[in-house]
């Protein structure tokens, strides 16, 4: 350390790691320098003679701390020169064919090794925390000492220096212990890796001998007998404790609040004592039960390895894994019980101190008995804790053995078996959660509960049913049209009615599959009928109208219809609520079915598709009407859509004398099913043919003519008109 004013040493840093110097010569030189510094500081302290009592006390504390330093240095030198003790020795592999006893011995060694590793890991964490705490304290003391050293020598400065030197030595010792713990832990981990390799080799070569299986069976029988005897003995003790607890309950109920509280506390403590003794009996049986379970596990393992076929072993493996999960849960519960007992013991100790203080001040009734009863309870709780610790160790041993052997067992399974087991394990873990979700109640009506699973069933049945019904509908329509030659309108009506009827049946089946009571469905439909009567009148009207249209077939798919507003179109589809009309302008109109029932609709294809078209036209005056009839008839026959037979002749009628023409009317017949055009387009074909035929025949198509009669005119205008008429010019 460097010297400062007043001869107080000033360290360069808080931590001094020269204590842990690897070179022995350097470390020895450092300790010699520290001893000289200690000797000088002790002499300086002896030379100080403060009169203040507080300063004298401070110097005394500093002297005690400095005198303690050689012991810390001696411990550091001893630990630094001490060699690390050898780790556990790995048992050698047997030269002959190993048996079950060899495997068991090897697994027991692994448990001890694992226990030491876990212990060292916990110790390492504690040492890390202690080292961090020392480092923070050391930094704080170092800063305080530097501040005091700047002011010169003082009792407070010497005390801080003594604290600093002590903390430096303790920090070096703690760091040395942490390094040795880490080194020992690395050795054990390396040994554990070697043990795992040898264990895998041993497991592969082990042969189960019948003698070993018989010994395990005898051990199981003996343990079962011991457990049975223990249960019989404990049963008598349980009955006695139960009688005492019943009497205590009666006494506690008869106690009045006016009586001394220590009397009630006495009975409550005694009750707790009897309950703890009952738990002790239970733990004794549990410890022996774990011993029996361990023997059975080894016996089952030997039997499975020796006799069970390889294909059936994965199924037994699942049983063992389930048992292992239960043991781990039991171990966790045991840890909670031990923690609870610790808290309970601390509470009773605090109460006992309070009772003893109360008795020392003023003796009271039942206080002495309460103290004795509390002491007995503490002793009983300690017994219970010791038994629980034994149970915990037995449980940990069994868990380790099962985990180790199951790991080896699974490692020798095929890749397919491993994947299958893994998938099955995940499925089993999530099965409970999935069931809870599927059976979660959405609502309940009477005795019927509608769950998430019911909803999925309903959706699934409806979805699949609708898809199947649509496919069946299409197949039936194709069959009726192609093979039976039925009209498309008839096929549409039959398929639509049957489709909606099947939908109703499908809905009932889906609701029944979902677990809904049909009587409740009837109530729901009854309530819906009221709603339909008030709020769904239009929908109901269209629905009923659709049924009427489909049943009466007054309008069919493919019919050409005309509404009162003049809209003309072909019926493309008749649904239960509406009908689709496609106009000749390629416009599709969705018409509610109620309009077909409530309005007057003109249909061009109701009974048959023969329709007569009237085409009016005129010719000039002076034209021979017979010639006109001949030319018009010929023109009508030239149009491809014209159909003529004795029942449907072509007529040319002379309908009258117009203002400037002779008026005729051409009446022709067509098959509407063969014409897919608007009426204006049909008449246009005939007008084109008439115009062409009349022009070729030299028949004049007139235009309006007017005669003007002048009654009065100006004289000048009359002279001008006369000249124009005579050709004399304007």
What are the per-10-residue average pLDDT scores of the chain (730 residues)?
A: 60 84 85 89 83 86 90 86 77 85 89 91 93 92 89 87 91 91 91 90 86 89 93 92 90 70 84 92 93 88 65 57 81 86 89 81 72 90 92 90 82 60 62 69 66 78 85 79 66 71 79 66 58 59 67 70 74 76 76 74 69 87 88 88 86 86 89 70 85 88 66 62 59
Q: What is the 3-state secondary structure (H, E, C) of 51-63?
A: CCHHHHHHHHHHH
In a shared domain, residues 597 and 659: no
223 shares a domain with 175: no
- Mapped to the 3 state alphabet, what secondary structure does 686-702 carry? HHHHHHHHHHHCCCCCC
Q: What is the dihedral sign for C-alpha 440, 442, 446, 448?
A: negative
Is the same domain home to 200 and 218?
no
Phi, psi angle pair for 394, to nearest 5°: -65, -40
Does 173 share its domain with 257? no
The 3-class SS string of 560-579 reads EEECCCCCEEEEEEECCCEE
| Residues sharing a CB contact under 8 Å with residue 615, sequence separation 6 or more, in sequence order | 665, 666, 667, 668, 683, 686, 687, 690
Return d(Cα 121, Cα 114) in angstroms, integer: 11
Handedness of CA 711, 717, 718, 724 (dihedral sign): negative
pLDDT of amino acid 5: 41
Q: Is 155 domain-assigned? A: yes
* Residues in the chain, total: 730
**Nearest by Cα to 461 from 501, 516, 507, 505:** 507
Amino acid 457: pLDDT? 79
Under 8 Å between Cβ of 446 and 521: no
Regarding whether 180 and 57 lie in a shared domain, the answer is yes
Distance CA 440, CA 456 (A): 12
Alpha helices in 439-487 (DSSP H): 452-482
This prediction's pTM: 0.54
Minimal CA–CA distance to 574: which of 499, 630, 475, 465? 499
For the chain, the distance separating the N- and C-terminal CA atoms, rounded to the nearest angstrom, is 146
Query: Interior CA angle at 491 toward 487 and 493, to 5°?
Result: 120
683 in a structural domain: yes
pLDDT of residue 525: 57
Three-state DSSP state, 484: coil
Does one domain contain both 591 and 647? Answer: no
Residues 172 and 268 in one domain: no
**Quick one: DSSP state of residue 623?**
-
Q: 119-139 burial, b if ≥16 CB within 10 A, otherwise e?
A: ebeeebeebeeebeebbeebe
**DSSP 3-state of 662:** strand
Q: Is residue 426 part of a domain?
A: no
> Both 30 and 99 in a single domain?
yes
Phi first, then psi: give them for residue 208, nearest 5 degrees.
Answer: -85, 120
β-pair partners for 562: 568, 602
Task: Provide the domain limits for residue 692.
Answer: 610-696
Does residue 416 form part of some domain?
A: no
* Domain match, 240 and 112 both: no
Of 358, 385, 410, the domain-final residue = 410
**Coil, helix or strand at residue 4:** coil
Are 547 and 590 within 8 A, CB to CB?
no
Compute the distance between CA of residue 226 and CA of residue 217 in angstroms, rounded to an integer. 14
Tokens for 713, please give them: 């005119």
Strand pairing of 441-445 and 651-657?
A: unpaired
| Rounded Cα–Cα distance for residues 666 and 653 (Å) | 6
Residue 455: CB atoms within 10 Å: 14
Q: What CA–CA distances, in Å, run from 90 to 400, 420, 556?
A: 18, 36, 95
Distance (Å, rounded) from C-alpha 675 to C-alpha 196? 92
61 within domain boundaries: yes
Alpha carbon distance 9, 583 (integer Å):
111
403: Cβ contacts below 8 Å, ≥ 6 apart: 324
**Is 437 within a domain?**
no
Q: 3-state DSSP call for residue 124? A: helix
Give the residue among 636, 642, 634 at the shortest CA–CA distance from 669.
642
Nearest to 368 by CA among 259, 260, 504: 260
Quote the pLDDT of residue 127.
Answer: 92
What CA–CA distance (Å, rounded) separates 611 from 561?
Answer: 13
How is residue 12 annotated by DSSP?
S
Q: Which of 196-222 are b and which e, b meaning 16 or more Cβ less than 10 Å from the residue's Cβ?
A: eebbeebbeebebeeebbeebeebbee
Q: What is the dihedral of CA 538, 541, 542, 544, to 10 degrees?
A: 160
Residues 214, 198 share a domain: no
* Sequence-separated contacts (24+) of 407-416 with Cβ below 8 Å: 408/199, 408/200, 408/203, 409/313, 409/317, 410/317, 411/200, 412/203, 412/204, 413/313, 413/314, 413/317
DSSP β-bridge partners for residue 611: 670
Full DSSP string of 273-328: HHHHHHHHHHHHHHHHHHHHHHHHHHHHHHHHHHHS-GGGHHHHHHHHHHHHHHHH
Identify which of 227, 208, 366, 378 has the alpha carbon closest to the alpha carbon of residue 294. Answer: 227
Last residue of a domain, one of 573, 603, 633: 603
Question: Does 193 lie in the same domain as 143?
Answer: yes
- Structural domain tally of the chain? 4
573 - beta bridge partners?
A: 580
Within-domain flag for 419 = no
For residues 525 and 541, give the distance between their C-alpha atoms in angstroms, rounded to a whole number.
17
- Number of Cβ within 10 Å of residue 598's Cβ equals 11
| Nearest-angstrom CA–CA distance, 395 and 711 | 138
Q: Which of 191, 186, 289 is nearest to 234 (CA)?
A: 289
Let me know if residue 150 belongs to a domain.
yes
Do residues 91 and 109 touch, judged by C-beta distance below 8 A? yes
- Among 153, 184, 205, the domain-final residue is 205
Among 15, 6, 293, CA closest to 157: 6
pLDDT number for residue 605: 66
Give the span between the Cα atoms of 365 and 262, in whole angstroms: 7
Q: Are residues 145 and 91 in the same domain?
A: yes
Q: Which helix (H) or strand (E) is 611 found in, with range?
A: strand 610-619
């Amino acid at each position: 350390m460097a010297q400062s004013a007043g001869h107080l040493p000033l360290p360069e840093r808080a931590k001094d790691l020269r204590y842990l110097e690897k070179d022995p010569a350097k470390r020895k030189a450092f300790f010699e320098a520290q001893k000289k510094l200690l000797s000088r500081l002790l002499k300086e302290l002896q030379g100080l003679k403060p009169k203040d009592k507080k300063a004298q006390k401070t110097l005394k504390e500093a002297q005690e701390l400095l005198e303690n330093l050689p012991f810390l240095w001696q411990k550091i030198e001893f630990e630094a020169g001490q060699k690390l003790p050898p780790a556990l020795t790995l048992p050698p592999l047997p030269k002959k064919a190993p048996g079950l006893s060899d495997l068991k011995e090897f697994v027991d060694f692994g448990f001890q090794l694992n226990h030491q590793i876990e212990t060292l890991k916990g110790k390492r964490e504690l040492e890390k925390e202690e080292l961090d705490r020392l480092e923070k304290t050391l930094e704080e003391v170092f800063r305080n000492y530097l501040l005091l050293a700047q002011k010169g020598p003082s009792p407070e400065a010497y005390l801080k220096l003594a604290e600093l030197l002590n903390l430096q030595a303790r920090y070096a010792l703690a760091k040395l212990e942490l390094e040795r713990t880490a080194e020992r832990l690395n050795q054990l981990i390396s040994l554990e890796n070697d043990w795992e390799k040898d264990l895998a080799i041993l497991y592969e070569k082990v042969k189960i001998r019948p003698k070993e299986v018989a010994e395990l069976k005898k051990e199981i029988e003996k343990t079962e007998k011991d457990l049975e005897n223990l249960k019989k003995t404990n049963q008598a003790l349980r009955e006695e404790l139960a009688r005492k607890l019943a009497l205590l309950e009666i006494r506690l109920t008869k106690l009045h609040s006016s009586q001394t509280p220590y009397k009630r506390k006495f009975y409550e403590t005694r009750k707790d004592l009897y309950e703890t003794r009952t738990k002790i009996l239970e733990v004794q049986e549990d410890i022996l039960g774990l011993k029996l379970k361990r023997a059975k596990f080894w016996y089952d393992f030997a039997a499975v390895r020796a006799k069970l076929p390889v294909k059936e072993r994965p199924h037994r493996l699942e049983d063992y894994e389930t048992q292992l999960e239960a043991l781990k849960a039991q171990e966790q519960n045991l840890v909670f019980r031990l923690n609870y007992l610790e808290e309970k013991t601390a509470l009773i100790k605090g109460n006992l101190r309070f009772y003893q203080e109360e008795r020392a001040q003023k003796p009271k009734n039942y206080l002495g008995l309460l103290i004795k009863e509390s002491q007995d309870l503490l002793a009983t709780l300690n017994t219970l804790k010791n038994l629980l610790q034994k149970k915990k160790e037995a449980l940990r041993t069994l868990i380790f053995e099962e985990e180790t052997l199951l790991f080896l067992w699974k490692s020798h399974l095929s890749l397919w078996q491993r994947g299958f087991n893994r998938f099955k394990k995940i499925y089993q873990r999530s099965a409970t959660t999935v069931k809870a979700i599927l059976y979660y109640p959405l609502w309940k009506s009477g005795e019927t509960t509608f769950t998430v699973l019911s909803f999925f069933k309903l959706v699934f049945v409806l979805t699949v049913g609708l898809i199947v019904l649509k496919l069946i509908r299409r197949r039936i329509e194709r069959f009726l049209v192609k093979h039976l030659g039925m009209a498309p309108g008839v096929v549409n009506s039959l398929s639509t009615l049957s489709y909606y009827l099947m939908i109703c049946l499908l809905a009932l089946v889906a609701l029944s599959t979902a677990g809904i009571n049909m009587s409740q469905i009837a109530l729901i439909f009854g309530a819906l009928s009221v709603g339909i009567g008030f709020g769904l009148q239009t929908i109901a009207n269209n629905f009923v109208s659709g049924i009427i249209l489909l049943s009466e077939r007054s309008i069919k798919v493919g019919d050409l219809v005309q509404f009162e507003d003049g809209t003309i179109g072909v019926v493309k589809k008749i649904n239960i609520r509406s009908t689709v009309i496609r106009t000749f302008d390629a416009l599709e109109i969705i018409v509610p079915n109620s309009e077909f029932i409530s309005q007057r609709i003109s249909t061009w294809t109701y009974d048959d598709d023969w329709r007569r078209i009237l085409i009016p036209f005129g010719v000039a005056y002076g034209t021979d009407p017979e010639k006109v009839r001949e030319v018009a008839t010929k023109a009508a026959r030239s149009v491809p859509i014209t159909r003529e037979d004795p029942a449907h002749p072509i007529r040319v009628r002379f309908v009258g004398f117009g203002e400037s023409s002779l008026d005729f009317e051409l009446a022709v017949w067509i098959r509407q099913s063969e014409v897919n055009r608007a009426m204006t387009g049909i008449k246009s074909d005939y007008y084109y043919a008439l115009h062409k035929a009349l022009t070729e025949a030299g028949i004049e198509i007139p235009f309006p003519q007017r005669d003007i009669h002048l009654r009065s005119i100006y004289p000048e205008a009359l002279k001008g008109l006369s000249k124009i008429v005579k050709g004399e010019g304007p």
